[in-house]
Every structure is written in C-alpha cells, then in structure tokens.
Amino acid sequence: MERHYAVMGDPIQHSLSPWMHNAGYEALGLDAEYQRFRVEASHLAEAVKGLRALGFSGWNVTLPHKENIVSLLDTLTPQAQRAGAVNTVKIHEGQLIGHNTDGDGFVRSVEEELHGFEGKKAVLLGAGGASKGIALALAEQGMCLHILNRTPEKAKGLAQAIEREGGTASTGEFAPGDWLKDVDLLVQTTSVGLHRESFPFSLEGISKQALVVDIIFNPMETAFLKEAKKLGCRTHNGLEMLLYQGALAWEFWLGGQAPVKEMRQALKNQLF
C-alpha cells in the first residue's frame, strides 16, 4: 500500500470510518488503506509517534482524544483552533497538522436543503462537545443561534464563545417555546435517543419549514426524528454529518473531491 490512514479512539470497534474511506479508495482506484486503532488515553503520545514512524499519511481522531491531541501537534488549522479540538491530522513535510472537519461537515450536510444560511434561525439542543463544533460553524455561516441545554450554564458558556467569534447567539430553557414557530434548522446534539429513549419534550407546533437533524445515526431514526417527521418536517439523521466530516478529511489529505456517493453507500451497507 502506498498510503496509510487510520482512526484512533477508545472505544473504536463501532467506528464506520474504515468502511467509508476504504470504499472511497476503491471507487477511485487509489492504493491506500484505512484502519482503526483502539488507543487508550494514557497511550496517545506513543500512538502519535508510532503512526508517524510507520509512515502514515494522516489519521482521524475521535473520543476521548480530540482535545488532548492538540498539544502533540505542530500546527492547527483555523477550524481546529476555533473548536479547540482536532478530528483530523495530516503529516505534511514532516509537520503534524491538526484540523477539524466536524463543524464544516455538518454545514455541508444541510446546505442543499437549507438554501442559504445568512440570517436564518438555528436552534441547538445540547451544549456539549458535538454541539460546540456545529454551533461555531453555523454561526460562521451567518445563522442566528438559540441554544437550549438541560444545564443552562453550559448553554450560556457556548453562546458567549460564539459571540466572542463575532456570531449571534441566545439561550433559553430546555423546553418547548416560541422558538418552535420560526426555527429554520433544529439540531439535536444530546445523547438522548442513543438507547432508544424518548425525547424529554414534544415538538408540537414546530414550523413545517424546519429542517430537523438528529446527529445520532444508530438508531437510524430516533423518537425525536420520528416525531419531527410526523409533524411534517424534513429530517436528517447523523449519517450525513459523519459522511461529510469524512469527505472533508479525505479532501484535506488527498485533495480533489471525495467520492461521496460511494462513501454514503458503504455507511448504509454497514447500518442496514
């Protein structure tokens, strides 16, 4: 193999990235291979040295290493700096470059359906790590954000971070409210639904114009998404975000355009 890529995290056995990337290499006839490695937090520095020594061209980084890897790298792209976290590393002329494709991957995944971002309203449910990357990228596109979180202090902290970057953000109670009537994009970023549990509140009264996204992809349709669909909204699960963060990582490593159609099909094959 000419080029080697990987994903490192812990746990990692459920990662779908190898299927997605390897299907892409095959589609384009590239002599490359993508593997997954379970790396415990205490072994991160050794793993980075190891992949460099083994001649890897780049790798993805997932939980719990996204923030801890920052201090082990030589430079960060603006996206990684802004997020304070890295999900993609490239070795370029011996330098380790940290990048983050989570936020821009999300933006790409909704761009076709939203028809423009400027001045539109996005409501984010949740204020954890996943929410932060998405929120900063949507604010950069000019969306007005409203952040609701079970622990309100975390929503406020995230709104302040967005305003420091020049974006517009407000916070509110983690409950139904007037925001339902004029939301353009509703994003569910909490872990509620991962174990098939119902969402803590109803979306009754939501604008039918809204695009509703749940970043969970397994299960493919959470109770939250089922309700949004029943109420007449267009919906996306987390598969598209996973796909486009991968496609952007691919393009960061290899240039050109990632074969998104084949990569999406590979993800679906694993999930069905």
3-state secondary structure of 29: coil
Interface with ligand ATR by CB under 6 A: which range of 121-129, 164-172, 223-231, 232-240? 121-129
Say if strands 88-92 and 58-61 run parallel, antiparallel, or are unpaired: antiparallel
Total number of residues that touch ligand ATR (CB under 6 A)? 15
When binding is defined by CB under 6 A, the residue of 50, 128, 172, 177 that contacts ligand ATR is 128
Q: Which of 66, 90, 120, 132 is catalytic?
A: 66
Sheet holding 3-9, edge to edge: 32-38, 3-9, 58-61, 88-92, 95-99, 75-76
- Does 156 sit near ligand ATR (CB under 6 A)? no
- The per-residue b/e assignment along 54-86, b for 16 or more CB within 10 angstroms, e otherwise, is eebbbbbbbeebbeebbebbeebbebbebbbbb
3-state secondary structure of 42: helix
When binding is defined by CB under 6 A, the residue of 16, 127, 186, 210 that contacts ligand ATR is 127
Whose Cβ is closer to ligand ATR: residue 129's or residue 177's? 129
When binding is defined by CB under 6 A, the residue of 151, 160, 198, 218 that contacts ligand ATR is 151
Backbone angles phi, psi at 70, to 5 degrees: -55, -45
When binding is defined by CB under 6 A, the residue of 8, 122, 130, 267 that contacts ligand ATR is 130
| DSSP states along 240-261 | HHHHHHHHHHHHHHH-S---HH
3-state secondary structure of 97: strand
- Write down the least CB distance from residue 11 to ligand ATR, Å: 14
Query: What is residue 91's DSSP assignment?
Result: E
Q: Was 151 annotated as part of a binding site?
A: yes
181 carries an active-site annotation = no
Looking at residues 181 to 220 of the shown chain, list those that interact with ligand ATR (rule: CB under 6 A).
189-192, 200
Whose Cβ is closer to ligand ATR: residue 66's or residue 236's? 66
Q: Was 245 annotated as part of a binding site?
A: yes
- Residue number closest to ligand ATR, CB atom: 128
Query: Which residues are annotated binding-site positions for NADP(+)?
Result: 126-130, 149-154, 215, 238
Using CB under 6 A, list all residues that contact ligand ATR.
126-131, 149-151, 154, 189-192, 200
Q: Which residues does the annotation mark as catalytic? A: 66
